[in-house]
Structure 1
Amino acid sequence: MRKKNKSIPLNTMTDDFGGDISVERLAVNDLWNSGAVSYNGFEEAEQSHRHDRHSFFLLETGTVHLEIDFQKYKMTAPSVIYIHPDQVHRTTDFENVTVSSWAINNENLNPEYLQLLESITPAKPLELSNETFSILSETVSLFIKFSGRKSDQLYQSLLKDICNALIALVASQYLEHSKSTDKLSRFEIVNKAFREMLERNYSSIKSPAAYAQKLNISTPYLNECVKEVTGYPVTYHIQQRVILEAKRLLYYSDKSVKEISAELGYDDYPYFSRLFTKVTGTPALIFRKKNLD
């Protein structure tokens, strides 16, 4: 049975060399058959959790099965994935794995890269060419070496710079597989700006008019742009984002529906309950009960 928690577990990425940046490389043959579950890092990975920072995983060998926000993914080496601090995830299985990971908090992350990462959230596993994988793997090895040089005068700056360089390499790969900004239509640009703003404000702003005002456009025009690109109006996306967070909290924590309603900005608890049922087709308590096992 799934462990219950008052809130969604928040795992701290390893940072033995201090600060708010981390890097490590791990290898294991088989999580379930080698006894590696006893190793704390893998035991935590098995349980649904969030990370306290922006985290990146470079799969160098083997296969990993992941569950991220109710979606299942299979990663095969060589590949990479970015996981946003908001995303709830766990490792369900892996074999013959070598994985490198690094993480960084907002304060140390280049603001330009932060904006790029927000625009590609949620990110799916990305397969890498051999050349790109080689560059990333070599950079991680260099990062690990630098992390041991604690006596260097500019130690923290060095870690920050190389971590951001790695992030830029990964972000550029995601951008290469998406439509470039200079090729976006006006409708797509407005939709992109709205989705980024929604991610930052979903718990406090629920009105399409409020988002339109922040974007300095009319509400009808915002709706026109978003619907043209996605097929759905602004209200749909607001509700979907709020309900995703509600699902996370219902599934991974034991907060009451009333507590979740308040946390997501709904003082009217009955309204929130009706909204959850409308969007998911299932009452909140039944959704939780169905997912207990």
Structure 2
Amino acid sequence: MRKKNKFIPVNPMADEFGAGISIDRLTLYDVSISEQTTSDGSEEATQSHRHDSHSFFLLESGTVHIEIDFQQYKIKSPSVIYMHPDQVHRTTVLEKITVSSWAINTENIHAEYLNLLEDITPVKPLTLAKETFSLMSEAVSLCLKFAERKNDKLYHSLLKDSCNALVALVLSQYLAQAQPTDKLSRFEIVTKAFRETLERNYTAAKRPAEYAQKLNISIPYLNECVKNTTGYSVSHHIQQRVILEAKRLLYYSDKSVKEIATALGYDDYPYFSRLFAKVTGMTAVAFRNKNRD
């Protein structure tokens, strides 16, 4: 049965060295979500949670089944995945894996990389070419050696720079699959800016006019850009982002529907309830009950 929590658990990742950075490589043996405990300590990963940092996982061998924001993925080695702090996830099956993981908090990520990471979220697992995987695995091994040198005068700088190099390697793989910014149309540029603004403001700003004002463009033009690029209106995207967070809280926490409404910026609880039902086709309570064991 799913563990009940008042809030979505946030697992600390980036405090292993007291520097806002963590890196590790480990081997885990077969386990499924039905098992309550495992000898390798992987129980925590099988419970739905967020991380307190930007997290990266290099699957060097084996297969992992993972659920990220209600989407199921079967990841086979060699693969890499980036996990944004907002994303709720859990591991459901491990099939004899070796995985390297590193996490770095916002303060320690290079500003350029942080902006790029925000641009590509939410992200999905990427399969790596042999040469790229080999390079990334070697880079992790080097970073692990740096992490052992705690008596070095520039220990934190060494750890920070080497982990940022790993972040850059992962980013380069995601960016290789993305459309170059200099080739984006004006509509796509505006839509990209809207999505970034939405991610930062969805709990406070609920009307298209608020986003148009933040972007210094008219409401009709914002709608035209977003609908032309995505096929959906600005209002649709605002509602979808809010409802995704509502689903996360309904499924992974035991906050009341009224508490969730308040947390998402809705003082009018009945309005939030109607909105949830309109977007999902069921009430918030029905959604929660449907997904409980």
**Which TM-score bucket, shorter chain as reference?**
over 0.9
Q: Which amino acid aligns with 1:37?
A: T
Instruction: Return the alpha-carbon distance in structure 2 between the equivalents of residues 29 and 130 of structure 1.
Output: 24
Per the alignment, residue 121 of structure 1 pairs with 121
With normalisation by structure 2, the TM-score equals: 0.97
- Counterpart mapping for 1:179-190 below 5 A: 179-190=179-190
Deviations 1:3-26 (A, max 9, x none): 110000111116432211000001
Going from structure 1 to structure 2, the CA distance change for 1:141 and 1:34 (only over 3 Å counts) comes to farther
Instruction: Return the alpha-carbon distance in structure 1 between the equivalents of residues 4 and 184 of structure 2.
Output: 44
Q: How big is the shift at 1:60?
A: 0.4
Per the alignment, residue 197 of structure 2 pairs with 197
With normalisation by structure 1, the TM-score equals: 0.97
Q: Which amino acid aligns with 1:248?
A: R
Q: How big is the shift at 1:112?
A: 1.2
Per the alignment, residue 137 of structure 1 pairs with 137
Are residue 178 (structure 1) and residue 174 (structure 2) matched?
no
Given that 1:11 and 1:52 are in contact with CA atoms closer than 8 Å, whether structure 2 keeps it comes out as: yes
Per the alignment, residue 227 of structure 1 pairs with 227
Instruction: Return the alpha-carbon distance in structure 2 between the equivalents of residues 259 and 279 of structure 1.
Output: 19
Per the alignment, residue 25 of structure 1 pairs with 25
Deviations 1:97-148 (A, max 9, x none): 0000000111111111111111111101001111111111111111110001
Per the alignment, residue 73 of structure 1 pairs with 73
Given that 2:14 and 2:52 are in contact with CA atoms closer than 8 Å, whether structure 1 keeps it comes out as: no
Tell me, which stretches of 5 or more residues in structure 2 are unaligned? none
Q: How big is the shift at 1:30?
A: 1.3
Q: Which amino acid aligns with 2:190?
A: V
Going from structure 1 to structure 2, the CA distance change for 1:161 and 1:257 (only over 3 Å counts) comes to same
Identical-residue share of aligned pairs (%): 71
User: Between Structure 1 and Structure 2, how many residues are aligned?
Assistant: 292
RMSD over aligned CA atoms reads 1.5
Per the alignment, residue 12 of structure 1 pairs with 12
Q: Which amino acid aligns with 2:171?
A: A
Runs (4+) off by over 4 Å? 32-36
Per the alignment, residue 40 of structure 2 pairs with 39
Instruction: Return the alpha-carbon distance in structure 1 between the equivalents of residues 3 and 96 of structure 2.
Output: 27
Instruction: Return the alpha-carbon distance in structure 2 between the equivalents of residues 13 and 286 of structure 1.
Output: 34
Q: Which amino acid aligns with 1:2?
A: R
Instruction: Return the alpha-carbon distance in structure 1 between the equivalents of residues 205 and 48 of structure 2.
Output: 28
Instruction: Return the alpha-carbon distance in structure 2 between the equivalents of residues 264 and 28 of structure 1.
Output: 37
Q: How big is the shift at 1:38?
A: 3.5
Residue aligned with 2:149, SS? coil
Q: Which amino acid aligns with 1:276?
A: F
Residue aligned with 2:29, SS? strand
Q: Which amino acid aligns with 1:266?
A: Y
